[in-house]
Amino acid sequence: MFIQTEATPNPATLKFLPGQTVLEAGTADFPSADTADKSPLATRIFAVDGTTGVFFGTDFITVTKADAVEWDHIKPAILGAIMEHFQSGAPVMDGEAQATGGHAEHTGEDGEIVGQIKTLLDTRVRPAVAQDGGDITFHGFDRGVVYLHMQGACAGCPSSTLTLKMGIENLLRHYIPEVVEVRPVAV
C-alpha cells in the first residue's frame, strides 16, 4: 500500500491519500480525540501524539497537528497508523455510525433560497475545498446571512476568512441577491 500526502493551505493540516475509498459517501469530522469513538481509523490516528483533528472524505484523510509538533516527527507514525488500519480490514466507521451528508436541514419560508445556496455549495464550493482536504457545509440562513461550518483543513486555516468573504460570499451574492453576508460557525 502506498499512501500519498499533499500539503493544504492550512500549515497545521496534511492530506493523506491512501489510494482507496475512505468513505463511500459523505464526510466525517473528528475535531478532537473525544469525538473519534465511532471510528476505529480516527481512534488509531489520534493515538499518534500531537494529532488534534481528523477528517474523512471519500478518498482522503486530513489530519491536523498541534502547533508545537513538527510534521517530520509525526508524519511517519500517521502513515503507519493509516496503513495498519487498512491492512487490518477493520471498518473506517463502526456499525451504525454514518458519515454525514453535510448540510443542516432548513425549514421555513426561505426554503427556495436555501435550496439555491446548498446547490451552489455542492456544485461550486465543496469540490474545490475537498481538493484542499476540507469541507464547508450549510448551517443556517437568517435575514440574508448564510452560516457555514468549516471542517477538515478549512477549520482553523489562516486563509479561511479570505475564502469565506472573497470567495464564497461573492459567489453566493452574485447568484442569490438575498444573500448579504457569509459567516462561519463552530459546531
* Per-position DSSP letters for 8-53, written without gaps between them: -SSTTEEEEE-SS-S-SSSBEEESSGGGGGG-HHHHHHHTSTTEEE
With pLDDT > 90 as the criterion, what percentage of the chain qualifies? 48
Determine the Cα angle at 129 with ends 127 and 131, to 5°.
75
Q: What pLDDT shows up at residue 149?
A: 83
- The CATH number that domain 4-88 falls under is 3.30.1370.70
Check pLDDT > 80 for residue 163: no
Ordered by start, the domain boundaries in the chain are 4-88, 111-185
Cα angle 88, 40, 103 (rounded to 5 degrees) comes to 125
Higher per-residue confidence, 128 vs 59: 59
Confidence tier at 55 by pLDDT (50, 70, 90): very high
Is residue 110's pLDDT more than 90?
A: no
Predicted local distance difference test score (pLDDT) of residue 99: 57
Show the cell assigned to 172: 453566493
Beta pairing class for 145-152 and 181-185: parallel
* pLDDT value at 51 more than 60: yes
At 46, is the pLDDT very low, low, confident or very high (cuts 50, 70, 90)?
A: very high
Band the pLDDT of 115: cuts 50, 70, 90. Answer: confident
Residue 64 near residue 157, CB atoms below 8 Å:
no
Distance from C-alpha of 22 to C-alpha of 57, rounded to nearest angstrom: 7
Answer whether residue 127 shows pLDDT above 90: no
CA gyration radius for the chain?
17
Q: Which residue has the higher pLDDT, 59 or 157?
A: 59
**What is the CATH code of the structural domain delimited by 111-185?**
3.30.300.130
